[in-house]
Chain A
Amino acid sequence: MNNEMTDVNIKWKVSMAVSSNDVKNLNQPMITMMIVTTDKAGNKNNLPIEMTTSKFKEFFRTVGQINTQMENAKIL
């Protein structure tokens, strides 16, 4: 298993789900992220993920936490 990446790129779109078969008034923002990774051999891999806002906020918070930890690690 060699999943180590040398480059990570994020493409994204925010869309609004307006209506569906079950719910006329769906009105729900949806986030689609395309994580484009490049491995050591230069192979590109596209990874699309769909998320609701709550899931996205959770992800966002996690990345924020990692960022803080990295800042702290430098001080040590």
Chain B
Amino acid sequence: MVDDPKRFLALLNGISRRNYFGHSELTDDFLKQEIYPDASEEDFCRICSRVAGLLKSLVSADMDMIQLEVFLTAQMKRKEGTLSEEQAASLRKFWKTNKQKIHDSIVSQTMWGNSLQKISWRVDLKSQSRHAEHINTPTAIMELHIADNLSTSKVPEVVRLELDETKLSAMLLNMKDIDDQINKLIKS
């Protein structure tokens, strides 16, 4: 009963949401009630810590699918707490869809500074001006919504920038440099 692959998958989802996505309302008691209502306390505790441990190994090494297969084979050969074929299949399925999501969630949790939450912008055209040279000069107005990662309750700070063409293309050029650097890093 404890080996039911559907429940195993549900438990994987529950524990990963609690441990890596901050859903603290998914307590052990809650998970037991929802997924294994008729299991003994002891059985449930065992499978719970087993699942948390498996997840931790996958997450910590950020395993790719080849590493996962090696890992699963080893787990299925273990004498104690052997992983069944069905459980291995559930884990494979789970990891395929959640690997990136979990990794991204953890990465965003390691950023403790400000983050850019939203950008609003519009382009204005100055069509009338005392100075003739201003006619038909476009201006970009950007609003950067900057949020504090540590205190999510705080209202994001809004910074308004007004940029003319030269400044905007300078900014774009700067960002192009950053983009090139990132691409270099990802390749290597």
- Chain B nearest CB from A22 CB (Å) reads 5
A73 to B158, CA, bound (A): 26
Per-residue CB contact flags for chain A residues 19-56 toward chain B (1 = under 8 Å, else 0) read 01011111111111101010000000001111111111
> What count of chain A residues pass the 8 Å CB interface test?
48
Residues of A within 8 A of B113 (CB): 32, 48-50
**B182 interface residue per 8 A CB criterion:** yes
Which residue of B61, B158, B174 is within 8 Å of A10 (Cβ)?
Answer: B174
A69 to B179, CA, bound (A): 21
Give the total number of A-B pairs whose CB atoms are below 8 A apart: 136
- A63 with B185: CB separation less than 8 A: no
- A22 with B138: CB separation less than 8 A: no
A22 to B113, CA, bound (A): 19
Residues of A within 8 A of B161 (CB): 3, 5, 8, 35, 37
A20 to B177, CA, bound (A): 27
> What count of chain B residues pass the 8 Å CB interface test?
51
- Chain A nearest CB from B188 CB (Å) reads 10
A23 to B161, CA, bound (A): 37
**B165 interface residue per 8 A CB criterion:** yes
Residues of B within 8 A of A29 (CB): 182, 185-186
- A73 with B125: CB separation less than 8 A: yes
Residues of B within 8 A of A12 (CB): 174, 177-178
- B168 with A53: CB separation less than 8 A: no
Given the known inter-chain contacts A4-B160, A30-B111, A52-B111, please indicate yes or no for A76 contacting B185, CB distance below 8 A.
Answer: no
Q: Which 8 A-B pairs have the closest CB atoms?
A: A3-B160, A73-B138, A50-B113, A70-B138, A14-B181, A69-B123, A25-B62, A50-B111
Known interface pairs A49-B116, A70-B140; 7 further A-B residue pairs with C-beta atoms within 8 A, sorted by A's residue number: A23-B103, A29-B186, A50-B111, A50-B113, A50-B149, A55-B116, A66-B121
